[in-house]
């Protein structure tokens, strides 16, 4: 319907009816919000509109306006934030009314409303000759899944605070509601922890960076010191920016593996006396945290500062690719394992994760980790992010745990998008826009009475081969657009040929936003 009526939305909405009226945004147009509680949403909408139009668009509380944001109705609250995201939009020749029972719903309505205007509304400068006309319509909309996320690794390559906020704004446009912030790695520790300043003084920097692919031999390096980190003030700014857009940030502190940068900063965290530096190439590192009580307490201290900065329910503790060689070889680790009554290194990792999970849960939060946290026994109440296919997610759901499906085959956007001989260097694999769009988040093998435990899915952007933000945009878009529709729009309404047609219009919006998307599909 939308394509025939010149309304081309991504993701597609649940229900839309068009009429013959046209609302014109004018210099005299006034914005009103129904209560001071949602004044920040009024400012968000106004900020989106004033730059391209050049109009003042005065903002007030009440219903004396042409463009109204109304918080109304009883929320159908989910146990997982942000909860009810339903909204409606009514456009006539006289007014535009955006209505929702929650601020989150209004945030989604604002992003859809922007798309109802022409692509020029996304211009980065004033566009005085544009006609700001909105086609008459009635929209009723709600998401298919409660977890609609995008992940970003800022460790292998670092992205500035401003770039992170731009990325958050771009995913907000597509009605995502989670930003998975991967903050620690072997190659760099990116978040200031005041109790342990060497994590950034030492761990945020590496001596050089690999040139070419990790499989190339001999390895070559650029010999340029590389790094960066976010201060706690930076983090607060990013959180505030995301919050007004109703994007919940899920911070990840990966443990017990992927910790070489932390061990370089504080050698006592490691298993050997070897002097380490932050890793300069990509791949799985053999170094792992020890399991002494002092290390457990160190990581709890880190998590305390992380939880003080990020208000969202879920804290991600990684758990992936933790090689156990040092645990197998070090007598003190084996002695500790015997002391704890554990039968093997898998159980030891499960014990380690359980210490972190219980600490996080004691603070009123919930823990989530990659599907490796299933190995050796899953901590009570832990949610699982299934990346090695769907098997781990199915197993976790069958055990009664919440799951985010993130299978590498469909939603890893560090993969190639086309013929690798014609594409920039990437890690491996082939994940096209069409393949992303074909993904069915609910596994057919999962019993019907467990499907409610699948919270949703998210796209992953691991940055080994993403050296700068322009390249990040190239790898993300338009695959982000496809995933947005997979996660928001009912399966019955999804149609790839319709999506392709709407995407061609949507690309004009991305052009105005100066997004460096991949031009093919």
CATH code of 249's domain: 3.20.20.80
Question: In this structure, are strands 403-405 and 133-141 parallel, antiparallel, or unpaired?
Answer: unpaired
pTM for this one? 0.97
User: Which pLDDT score, from 0 to 100, does residue 83 have?
Assistant: 78
Q: Per the domain annotation, does 494 fall within a domain?
A: no
Q: Per the domain annotation, does 2 fall within a domain?
A: no
Q: Per the domain annotation, does 345 fall within a domain?
A: no
Of 141, 156, 184, which closes a domain? Answer: 141
Which of the following is catalytic: 321, 366, 398, 423? 321
User: Which pLDDT score, from 0 to 100, does residue 79 have?
Assistant: 65
User: Which pLDDT score, from 0 to 100, does residue 145 have?
Assistant: 97
Alpha-carbon gap, residue 184 to 266, rounded angstroms: 14
The tally of domains found in the chain comes to 2
Of 116, 141, 166, which closes a domain? Answer: 141
Could you tell me the two tokens for 92?
């006539």
Cα radius of gyration (the chain): 24
User: Are residues 434 and 518 in contact, defined by beta-carbon separation less than 8 angstroms?
Assistant: no
- Which residues make beta-bridge pairs with 237? none
Q: Are residues 159 and 135 in the same domain?
A: no
Say which CATH number the domain at 45 has: 3.30.379.10
Q: Are residues 234 and 98 in the same domain?
A: no
Q: Are residues 374 and 313 in the same domain?
A: yes
Concatenate the DSSP letters of all residues of 111-135 into one string: HHHHHHS-GGGG-SS--TT---EEE
Q: Are residues 81 and 209 in the same domain?
A: no
Q: Per the domain annotation, does 338 fall within a domain?
A: no
Alpha-carbon gap, residue 446 to 454, rounded angstroms: 10
DSSP state of 378: P
* Crossing angle of helices 161-173 and 103-116, rounded to 10°: 80
User: Which pLDDT score, from 0 to 100, does residue 63 have?
Assistant: 87
User: Which pLDDT score, from 0 to 100, does residue 2 have?
Assistant: 39
Alpha-carbon gap, residue 398 to 445, rounded angstroms: 11
Q: Which residue has the tokens 């998210």?
A: 458
Residue 473 is a catalytic residue: no
Q: Are residues 431 and 309 in the same domain?
A: yes
Domain range spanning residue 403? 147-324+360-489
User: Which pLDDT score, from 0 to 100, does residue 3 have?
Assistant: 38
Q: Are residues 459 and 376 in the same domain?
A: yes
Q: Are residues 297 and 184 in the same domain?
A: yes
User: Which pLDDT score, from 0 to 100, does residue 74 have?
Assistant: 87
Q: Per the domain annotation, does 512 fall within a domain?
A: no
Q: Are residues 65 and 151 in the same domain?
A: no
Q: Per the domain annotation, does 240 fall within a domain?
A: yes
E strand segments, 72-156: 87-91, 96-100, 133-141, 147-153
Peptide bond into 256 cis (omega under 30): yes
Q: Are residues 180 and 270 in the same domain?
A: yes
Q: Per the domain annotation, does 43 fall within a domain?
A: yes
Q: Per the domain annotation, does 469 fall within a domain?
A: yes
Contacts of 488 (CB under 8 A, 6+ apart): 11, 12, 143, 144, 145, 148, 175
pLDDT per residue of the chain (521 residues) written in tens, 0 to 9: 333 347 999 999 999 999 999 999 999 999 999 999 999 999 999 999 999 999 999 999 998 899 999 999 888 877 666 779 999 999 999 999 999 999 999 999 999 999 999 999 999 999 988 899 999 999 999 999 999 999 999 999 999 999 999 999 999 999 999 999 999 999 999 999 999 999 999 999 999 999 999 999 999 999 999 999 999 999 999 999 999 999 999 999 999 999 999 999 999 999 999 999 999 999 999 999 999 999 999 999 999 999 999 999 999 999 999 999 999 999 999 999 999 999 999 999 999 999 999 999 999 999 999 999 999 999 999 999 999 999 999 999 999 999 999 999 999 999 999 999 999 999 999 999 999 999 999 999 999 999 999 999 999 999 999 999 999 999 999 999 999 999 999 988 899 999 999 999 999 999 999 999 999 76
Of 141, 176, 203, which closes a domain? Answer: 141
Q: Are residues 50 and 78 in the same domain?
A: yes
Q: Are residues 169 and 289 in the same domain?
A: yes
Q: Are residues 428 and 312 in the same domain?
A: yes
């Amino acid at each position: 319907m939308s394509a025939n009526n010149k309304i081309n939305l991504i993701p597609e909405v649940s229900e839309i009816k068009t009429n013959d009226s046209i609302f014109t945004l004018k210099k005299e147009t006034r914005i009103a919000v129904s209560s001071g509680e949602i004044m920040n949403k009024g400012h968000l909408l106004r900020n989106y509109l004033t730059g391209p139009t050049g109009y003042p668009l005065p903002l007030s509380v009440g219903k004396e306006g042409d463009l109204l944001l109304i918080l109304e109705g009883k929320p159908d609250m989910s146990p997982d934030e942000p909860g009810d995201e339903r909204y409606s939009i009514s456009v006539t020749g006289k007014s535009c009314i955006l209505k929702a029972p929650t601020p989150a719903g209004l945030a989604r309505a604002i992003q859809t409303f922007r798309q109802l205007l022409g692509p020029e509304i996304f211009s980065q400068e004033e566009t005085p000759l544009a006609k700001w006309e909105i086609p008459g319509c009635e929209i009723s909309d709600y998401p298919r899944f409660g977890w609609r996320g995008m992940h970003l690794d800022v460790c292998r390559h670092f992205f500035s605070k401003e770039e992170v906020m731009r990325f958050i704004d771009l995913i907000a446009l597509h009605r995502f509601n989670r930003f998975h912030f991967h903050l620690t790695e072997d190659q760099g520790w990116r978040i200031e922890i005041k109790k342990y300043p060497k994590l950034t003084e030492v761990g945020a920097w590496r001596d050089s960076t690999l040139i070419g692919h990790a499989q190339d031999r001999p390895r070559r390096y650029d010999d340029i010191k590389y790094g960066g980190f976010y201060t706690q003030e930076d983090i607060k700014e990013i959180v505030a920016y995301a919050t007004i857009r109703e994007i919940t940030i899920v911070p990840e502190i990966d443990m017990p593996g992927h910790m070489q940068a932390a061990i370089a900063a504080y050698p006592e965290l490691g298993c050997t006396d070897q002097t380490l530096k932050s890793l300069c190439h990509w791949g799985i590192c053999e170094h792992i945290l020890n399991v002494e009580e002092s290390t457990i307490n160190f990581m709890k201290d880190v998590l305390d500062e992380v939880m003080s900065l990020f208000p969202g329910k879920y804290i991600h503790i990684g758990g992936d690719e933790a090689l156990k060689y040092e645990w197998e070889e070090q007598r003190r680790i084996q002695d500790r394992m015997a002391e704890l009554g554990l039968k093997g290194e898998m159980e030891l990792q499960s014990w380690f994760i359980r210490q972190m999970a219980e600490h996080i849960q004691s603070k009123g939060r919930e823990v989530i980790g990659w599907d490796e946290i299933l190995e050796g026994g899953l901590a009570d109440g832990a949610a699982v992010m299934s990346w090695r296919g769907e098997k781990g997610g199915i197993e976790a759901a069958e055990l009664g745990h919440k799951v985010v499906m993130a299978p590498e085959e469909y939603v890893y956007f560090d993969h190639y998008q086309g013929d690798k001989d014609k594409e920039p260097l990437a890690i491996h694999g082939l994940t096209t826009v069409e393949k992303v769009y074909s993904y069915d988040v609910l596994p057919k093998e999962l019993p019907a009475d467990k499907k409610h435990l699948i919270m949703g899915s998210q796209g992953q952007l691991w940055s080994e081969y993403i050296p700068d933000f322009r390249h990040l945009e190239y790898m993300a878009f338009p695959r982000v657009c496809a995933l947005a529709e997979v996660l928001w729009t009912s399966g019955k309404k999804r149609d790839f040929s319709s999506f392709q047609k709407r995407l061609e219009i949507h690309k004009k919006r991305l052009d105005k936003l100066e997004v460096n998307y991949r031009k093919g599909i």
